[in-house]
Amino acid sequence: MLPKTQKLTRVLFPKHTEPKKTWVGDCLRIQYSYTNQVSKSRFAVVVSKKIHALAVRRNSIKRAIYEGIEHCGDILAIGRGMKIVIFPGKKDELLLSDAIVRDLKIFFAFIK
C-alpha cells in the first residue's frame, strides 16, 4: 500500500474545472495534472460501480492498482508535483496485475 503522503486527499483532489490531460492504456485510464501545491506526485484510484457492484471487489481492484504503483518504485521519486487519478477502464475480469503494471510502466515512460 502506498504511504499516506503519496495519496491524494479530498482537499487536493483535482476539481472538474482544472486543466488535466488523459492517457488511455489497455486496462487503465489515467488523468494527470501538474500542480505547485504538492512537491511529489500523489495518486488516487477511483473504481466505479459499473466495474463491479460489490464494494469488496472494488477495494481489491484498488489494492491491485496500488500494488502496481508500488511495483514501479523508482517512479515514486518523481520530483514534479503531479496529481494522478487512475480509473480502471474495463470489467474486473480483464484486470490482471501484469496488465496493470505494464500500463503503469508505459504511462510513466510517457510522462518522463
Distance CA 107, CA 112 (A): 9
The residue among 63, 61, 70, 58 whose CA lies nearest residue 104 is 70
pLDDT in tens for each of the 112 residues of the chain?
778 888 888 888 888 888 889 999 988 999 998 877 767 888 899 999 988 889 998 998 899 898 888 887 666 555 577 889 999 987 655 567 788 888 988 988 888 7
Strands 28-34 and 82-88: antiparallel
User: What pLDDT does 56 receive?
Assistant: 92
The residue among 11, 71, 93 whose CA lies nearest residue 63 is 71
Give a yes or no: residue 106 inside a domain: yes
Give a yes or no: residue 79 inside a domain: yes
Total tally of structural domains belonging to the chain: 1
Give a yes or no: residue 5 inside a domain: no
Instruction: Judge contact between 46 and 85, C-beta under 8 A.
Output: yes
Give a yes or no: residue 55 inside a domain: yes
Longest dimension (CA), the chain: 38
Give a yes or no: residue 10 inside a domain: no
Give a yes or no: residue 89 inside a domain: yes
What's the burial of 33, exposed, middle or buried (CB within 10 Å: 0-12/13-18/19+)? Answer: middle
User: What pLDDT does 83 receive?
Assistant: 87
User: What pLDDT does 55 receive?
Assistant: 93
Domain carrying residue 73 = 26-111
Give a yes or no: residue 1 inside a domain: no
User: What pLDDT does 54 receive?
Assistant: 92
Identify the CATH number of the domain in which residue 70 sits.
Answer: 3.30.230.10
